[in-house]
Chains A and B, each alone.
Chain A
Amino acid sequence: AQTVTQSQPEMSVQEAETVTLSCTYDTSESDYYLFWYKQPPSRQMILVIRQEAYKQQNATENRFSVNFQKAAKSFSLKISDSQLGDAAMYFCAYRSALGQGGSEKLVFGKGTKLTVNP
């Protein structure tokens, strides 16, 4: 079974600075998807960024980018120019690609609480 580990229960960053959240995972599959979700105080889960394992290029969405190291099974999230609205819980998640014989379900890490200081 796949597992996702987020080793940082809490992180803080100064407004306008850059912060990196760590995520490692364990799988024997070759094709899969990795996600970062944000959960603000409203508790609505919001997709931040997605990475397909077959793509070597790291995904980028505006101020958010990932460092995907497939061999190391590492998937970190970098937030640049941090804003107060970035404060939230961040969850790293894994999903098997269809056709791999694995489950469609998302496997979540335990989350990292990000605080942004003004």
Chain B
Amino acid sequence: GAVVSQHPSRVICKSGTSVKIECRSLDFQATTMFWYRQFPKQSLMLMATSNEGSKATYEQGVEKDKFLINHASLTLSTLTVTSAHPEDSSFYICSARDMWENTEAFFGQGTRLTVV
């Protein structure tokens, strides 16, 4: 199946700094990628839909100035958590769907962010 690589898998940053998470589709092209946040023992919460070459669409309640999304190519989307605070600590997951296949979305391995 298609592979989505998410990097880093774990990151620890200091409060007030920014951290960037990358999501790459390795063997397919994706015009659309999705970013989720998952709290412990809870379901995935969609944060935003990332569209190649255009602005991301954020879900209600998600601060777009805090969670910056860039989708500059058909294989790469990035999520930057700006001025991170301890409450931003969470598990972040990206997914992507092959633009030529009307099939399921493939998920990255996830990133555990800890803000200290």
Contact = CB atoms under 8 A, between A and B. Distances in A.
Interface of A: 33, 35, 37, 42-47, 50, 91, 95, 97-98, 103-106, 108-111
A91 B44 CA distance: 9
A45 B95 contact: yes
Interface of B: 1, 32, 34, 38, 42-44, 46, 49, 91, 93, 95, 97, 102-107, 109-110
Contacts of B46: 105-106
Contact of A110 (B42, B103, B106): B42
Contact of B43 (A35, A46, A97, A111): A111
Most buried by A among B34, B38, B95: B38
Contacts of B93: 43, 45
A104 B34 CA distance: 10
A40 B101 CA distance: 26
A43 B43 contact: no
Given A91-B43, A110-B42, A105 B49 contact: yes
A43 B110 contact: yes
Given A91-B43, A106-B34, A35 B104 contact: yes
A47 B104 contact: yes
B35 to A, nearest CB: 11
B109 A44 contact: yes
A54 B42 CA distance: 30
Contacts of B38: 43
24 contacts: A33-B104, A35-B104, A37-B107, A43-B91, A44-B107, A44-B109, A44-B110, A45-B44, A45-B93, A45-B95, A47-B106, A91-B43, A91-B44, A95-B105, A98-B102, A104-B32, A104-B97, A105-B34, A105-B46, A106-B34, A106-B44, A106-B46, A108-B44, A110-B42
